[in-house]
Amino acid sequence: MRMYDLILKKRNGEELSREEIDYFIENYTKGTIPDYQASAFIMAVFFQGMNRRETADLTVAMVKSGDVLDLSKIEGIKVDKHSTGGVGDTTTLVLAPMVASLGIPVAKMSGRGLGHTGGTIDKLESFKGFSVDMPEEKFIDNVNKIKMALVSQTGELAPADKKLYSLRDVTATVDNVSLIASSVMSKKIAAGADAIVLDVKVGDGAFMKTSEAALELANEMVGIGKSVGRNTVAVISDMDQPLGFAIGNALEVEEAINTLKGTGPKDLLELCLVLGSNMVVLAEKAKTLEEARAMLAEVIESGKALNKLKEFVAAQGGDASCIDDSGKLPKAKYVIPVVVDKDGYVRKINAQRIGLIAMELGAGRATKESVIDLSVGIVLNKKRGDEVKKGDIIAYVHSSSEEKGKKASEDILNNYVIESKYENNIPLIYNIVR
């Protein structure tokens, strides 16, 4: 087999066999297929697409490129959750303690942020001393003891995805249904969960810009899950504006803590209740979504979920006293208000641009080597549908430099669309695919 022929075949819109897909993944992982051929190949996939069978074969080939975690030593049904990536998306920090406090094991593999989207591990490092480095035995032991542990995606899990994802990131080939579906599902399958809840984001700040594309991606991933015997549910949710108010690592940690205390943003809590109730039902701890939702509401009300976060942070070496005293979290030197210059309603907040502005402030990585500043970011004060009057503060910039902060403040203002009338027709939850 020659890589040249595979590129030509896909370029001409033909279907690839399982052997051909295996050949590509195996040899690209090994390094015997160079990046330039892989780039041409994935660009051909981007334009010509892959059918369901090819996508499923690509997923399985990527799972086989590395280890598959054995979580059988963890008691109970393990349910994992994955988001396709958004701006200010703090769900894991809220959702994982909620679910774990019901006795459901959460053995989570998370990533760091790249580009305009954030990553859970970076956020957690806002707790001084917090570490995701631990041997597999300790990880399993922690899940058995406190029902919750979190590690980073190691090089041994779906290494083909790790390599391909970096290549896609720099070759404008991220936003393709087959490539995203195989990337997400190969990682989740390798991470060993019994059941998977996916949060498929749609809108300006997501890879999928339309609800049709998001639905296609959701169907594709649920289908792949089914074909490998992992019960999978996909929730399609809004990412046309950032989730909650905070964007930036320590700021999002504070937002997550507030949500667990019952004083957080409504959209973040609602999304966690929807994703969470699906996790609870898949874990067979409740028969219906309504029952599951009531259980989750109770662990917030009673403070059990907040206590679970404390237990979890302490178990991984972090300073959990920040949870009661948020003044101890990293704080930026400057807090600069963004003041609106006209009356009207917020019609739109360009989520992707807001994510990039936060990244430029230092909250995210422009390249894989960038060092992030945990304290900086943006806190929105007005969201879609809110009425504003000239002179109102619509957001705050948290910055380590006054100059950068002022520039960010101007950029944010330019990315709020204010109009005289507004009717909200964008739902938080579009659809749920089972």
364, 327 Cβ separation under 8 angstroms:
no
Q: Per the residue annotation, which of 10, 78, 108, 168 is the catalytic one?
A: 168
Least Å distance between CB 97 and ligand URA?
23
How would you class 419 by CB atoms within 10 Å of its CB: exposed for 0-12, middle for 13-18, buried for 19 or more? Answer: exposed
Strand partners, 418: 346
Q: Which is nearer to ligand URA, 183 or 258 (CB)?
A: 183
- Residue among 286 and 374 whose Cβ is closer to Ca ion: 374
Phi, psi of 311 (to 5 degrees): -60, -45
- Indicate the SS3 state at residue 150: strand
Smallest separation, CB 174 to ligand URA (Å) = 6
Residues 331-360 that bind ligand URA (CB under 6 A): none
Whether 161 is catalytic is yes
CB 132 within 8 A of CB 154: no
Per-position b or e across 32-65, b if 16+ CB within 10 A of its CB: ebeeebbbbbbbbbbeeebeeebbbbbbbbbbbb
- Which helix (H) or strand (E) is 392 found in, with range? none
Angle at 368 between CA 367 and CA 374, to 5 degrees: 90
401 catalytically annotated:
no
Q: Does 66 bind ligand URA (CB under 6 A)?
A: no
* Number of separate helices (H) and strands (E) present in the chain: 16, 13
59 or 277, CB closer to ligand URA? 59
Find the binder of Ca ion among 86, 88, 203, 225 (CB under 5 A): 88
Q: Is 84 in the site for ligand URA (CB under 6 A)?
A: yes
Q: Note whether 189 binds ligand URA by CB under 6 A.
A: no
85 near ligand URA, rule: CB under 6 A: yes
Token digits for 68? 């598959």
Catalytic member of 78, 123, 163, 187: 187
Asked about 168 being catalytic, the answer comes back as: yes
Among 87, 150, 184, 185, contact with ligand URA (rule: CB under 6 A): 184
Alpha carbon distance 109, 120 (integer Å): 10
Minimum CB distance to Ca ion smaller for 90 or for 120: 90
The one of Ca ion, ligand URA, none whose footprint includes residue 180, by CB under 5 to 8 A per kind, is ligand URA
- Judge whether 384 counts as a catalytic residue: no
Q: Which residues are catalytic?
A: 82, 161, 168, 183, 187
Q: Which residues are near ligand URA by CB under 6 A?
A: 84-85, 165, 174, 179-180, 183-184, 207
Q: Which residues are near Ca ion by CB under 5 A?
A: 88, 90, 243-244, 246
